[in-house]
Chains A and B, each alone.
Chain A
Amino acid sequence: MMGLIARELRLSIRHGAESMAALLFFIIAGTLFALGAGPDPAMLSRIAPSVVWVTALLAALLPLERLFGPDLEDGTLDLLLLSGWPAYAIAAAKTAVHWLTTGLPLLIAAAPLAVMLRLPGDRLPLLLLSLLPGTLIFSLLGTLAAALTAGARRGAMLMPLVTLPLMIPSLIFGTAAANSAHPAAFYMIFAMLLAALPLAPLGTGLALRAAAE
C-alpha cells in the first residue's frame, strides 16, 4: 500500500504544475477578494473564514479531473485494478495523495492568506482546525466525484455538478465552525469526516470498477 502511495506521490510531484495551479488559484482568488471587498478591516475580518473556505474548496477541485483520467486513457487503471489490492484501497491511496499534494498545501497556505484578510490571530487556530477535516473531506468526496465522472463525455463539465452538492454541507458546517467557537459545528464537520472516511473510498472503488468496464 505504501508502495502504491509512493508511486502516486512521485507521479503527482512530477506533474507538480497541477498542485501548484491549485495553490496559486487559492492565493490569487483570496487576494482578489481582499481587493474587491475594499480596505475595511472589520469587514475583511468578518468574511475571511468564508473566503478561505470557499476558495480552498474551489482550488481543491482543480486537480480532480486529472486524478483518474490519464490512468483510464493509458491503461494504468486496469493495472491498478489487477494489482491485487481491493479497489477501495486504490481509492484510499489516491485520496491520500490528493490530500498530501493539494489539501495539505492549501491548509498551510490558509494561515498567511487569513492573516492577509485581517483575521484576528486568536481566530486563526479555529479556522485551521476546521480546515483540517474540511480539506480531508474535499479529498475524499472529490476522489469519489472524479471516479464517478472518469471516462464520461464532458467529464470536466460534470465534475463540479457532481462535486459541489456533495461538498456544500461540509462548507456550511466548516465555515460555521471557523466563525464561532461553538462546538456543535465542529462535531458536525468531524462527524462528516468520520462518515466519509470509510464510505467515500468504498464508493470510489465501485465507481472505478464501473469505469474500467
Chain B
Amino acid sequence: MHLLTAQKLAIFRGERLVLQGVSFELRPGGILLLRGANGAGKSSLLRALAGLTPLASGELFWDNLPALADREAHAQRIAWLGHQDAVKPVLTPAEQVPETALALVGLEKFANLPSRFLSAGQKRRLAIARVAAAQKPLWLLDEPTTGLDAASIQRFLELCAAQRQRGGMIIASTHTPIELPNTQVLAL
C-alpha cells in the first residue's frame, strides 16, 4: 500500500506560473478530483505529477521518498490518460490494448477493426482500457469522461471503484460530476 504526498508544488507553463502552493495527500484507495476553470492548471498539475514537466518548486513524495528523483521508476507506478487518446488509427484495438481489457469497456467486438473506424467516444474507451490493463497503483486521468455516453461513464466509474478496491489511487481532472464515495476535491 502506497502513499502519495505533494508539498507546496509550483508549476510553470511556458513562462507563466500557473500553480503554486499545491499540497495534498492521497492514501491507498483514494481519489482526488481536480476542479477548476479552463486554464486553471489541472492538466499542468497532472503532467507534473507524472514527471512529464518539471516542478518549479515543492516536492512530490511516494511512500515518503522523493518520487521524481528517478523518473523512469516513477513512470512504472503510473497509468496515464492524457487529453489525447494516443490511439494509432492504423492499428487495431487488439494491437494496442490486451483483448481482456477491451471487454472491460465494451470494445471486444471491435478488437480487430482498424482504429480509424472508431468514434471519438470509442477511442476514449480504448484509452481507458489501456489504463485499466496497465495495473498500476496510480492513475492520472485528464478529463477521462470526455466524449463518453452515460453507459460508458458508468463502466468507467466501475473501473475506478475496482482500482480503489485494489488499493490503487486516482487523480483525475474533470468537469463532469463523478459520483464516487469519499472523493477528495482540489480546487485550483
Contact = CB atoms under 8 A, between A and B. Distances in A.
A84 interface: yes
A102 to B, nearest CB: 18
Contact of B75 (A14, A76, A84): A84
A14 B53 CA distance: 32
Main secondary structure of the interface of B (DSSP, over half): loop
B155 interface: no
B99 interface: no
Contacts of B86: 74-76, 78-79
Nearest to B127: A75
Interface residues of B, number: 22
Contacts of B85: 74-75
B88 A78 contact: no
B2 interface: no
Contact of B82 (A75, A84, A86): A75
Contacts of A172: none
B52 interface: yes
Contact of A85 (B50, B72, B87, B95): B72
A122 interface: no
Contact of B52 (A15, A85, A86, A213): A213
A79 B50 CA distance: 10
B56 interface: no
Interface residues of A, number: 18
Contact of A82 (B53, B80, B83, B84): B80
Contact of B53 (A11, A86, A213): A213
Nearest to B88: A11
Given A74-B84, A75-B83, A213-B53, A84 B76 contact: yes
27 contacts: A10-B95, A11-B88, A11-B90, A11-B91, A14-B90, A15-B90, A74-B85, A74-B86, A74-B87, A75-B82, A75-B83, A75-B85, A75-B86, A78-B47, A78-B52, A78-B82, A78-B86, A79-B80, A79-B82, A81-B75, A82-B51, A84-B73, A84-B75, A85-B72, A212-B52, A213-B53, A213-B54
Given A76-B88, A78-B86, A82-B51, 15 more contacts: A11-B91, A73-B84, A74-B85, A74-B88, A75-B83, A75-B85, A75-B86, A78-B47, A78-B52, A81-B75, A83-B75, A84-B72, A84-B73, A212-B52, A213-B53
